[in-house]
Amino acid sequence: MKAVIMAGGKGTRLLGLTEDKVPKPMALVAGKPILKWQVECLRRNGITDICIIIGHLGEVIRDYFGNGGKFGVSISYFIEDIPMGTAGALPHILEFLSEPYFLLLNGDTIFDIDIKRMERFHKEKHAYATLFVHPNSHPHDSDLVMMNSDGHITGFDSKSNTRAYWYDNIVNAGIYILSREVCALIPLEGKTDLDKEVVFANLEEYCIYGYFSPEYVKDVGTIERIRQAEIDISSGVVATKNLSYKQRCIFLDRDGTINVYKGLICEADDFVLESSAAEAIRLINRSSYLAAVASNQPVVARGLCEIEDVEEIHRKMKTLLGKEGAYLDWVEYCPHHPDKGYPEENPKYKIACECRKPETGMFLKAAAAMNIDLSQSWMIGDSTRDIQAASNAGMRSILVKTGQGGGDLSYAAKPDFVCDNILEAVKRVING
């Protein structure tokens, strides 16, 4: 697979660093230009044929990289004499785009991802276009992507819109695998916005998918974000989040751990975050651990609400966390309950399943999706059911005193630690 990097932007938000002497993609992050971080990641993934779209101060990029030989790659260039937007240059490099699909990158992101894993997803879905999507710490001012459980993208919500609803934290990261035929949708003249005029304008006609991943991708278009990326690089977070490596995860129970315990919650209005939950999950986000939810939700089986109601509650959870700079890498829940006899029960979900804790199905599903080593992972919850589930999955566990506080005596498993709340528990894990 070949790669195209869009590196023609002026980067007015970085003038304090670049002083308009170097283009935005050449701004230094931890001592290296953004573009060098990108080229090195591409090379590690076996992608060595690269075309860089240059414009403002593009000669600085050419002088630094040349033909790419000293970096172990081959680099060609397309010069935008007049800005052509985020897609306008693509029809002009068709000779370079000789393969069925190619990787397209924005030149102002720091990332370390398993590109081959994304490519496999693209091929399995027979996608026309695949967008790398992920949760981030500021979804309220990010463009959001809506997609179904299969990953098929169904909609888009611009960051400029007013959002009077609860939303999923699924953000377009600026990394794409595009079919060569996409270029036929782009006019040869003028500026074209890839997202609005090409991708999201053609959702109904073409198979366009979102590849959801917790790997590190950060838009470093501001000085503040560059500084955070430097912290993440020095702490090892950037490299260790690459899914080619085994991941460590902190699994969290929902009711009584993340949110205030109110028994069975059936409506979003009843969901209230525990006071320290957002801070705790922010700490996980800044560590080398993933943050995942594994929650029993028998409200569906009991007929108290529908699947959509549970997912609306989870959208509220993600929205509230996002407003406080925190996000979840994965949310899994079990809607089943084995005991029959409730008057409103839904027989479809009245089954003995493999996902309801203390069974391990939710952990195994997350582990397969994100390459998690369960033996190096933790479960934090408020019930002995959570502790038994962790033991069954080969994980360590912490019981918190919020919620049920271990008051249920259904299971005999003992936690590794007992903590007052989720924040104390997360600190215990992260601080070793």
Q: Which residues does the annotation mark as catalytic?
A: 253, 255
Closest CA to 21 of 59, 49, 77, 72: 59
SS3 content of the chain, % helix, strand, coil (to 5): 35, 25, 45
* Sign of the four-CA dihedral 230, 108, 288, 168: positive
The residue with tokens 């007049």 is 82
Nearby residues of 350 by Cβ (< 8 Å), 6 or more positions away: 301, 336, 337, 338, 339, 340
d(CA 233, CA 404): 39
- List the one residue out of 153, 46, 168, 42 whose CA is nearest residue 105: 42
Closest by Cα among 22, 235, 24 to 109: 24
Burial 396-432 (b: 16+ CB within 10 A, else e): bbbbbbbbbebeeeebebebbebbebbbbbbebbbee
C-alpha distances in angstroms, 431 versus 282, 283, 374, 386, 402? 14, 11, 19, 22, 21
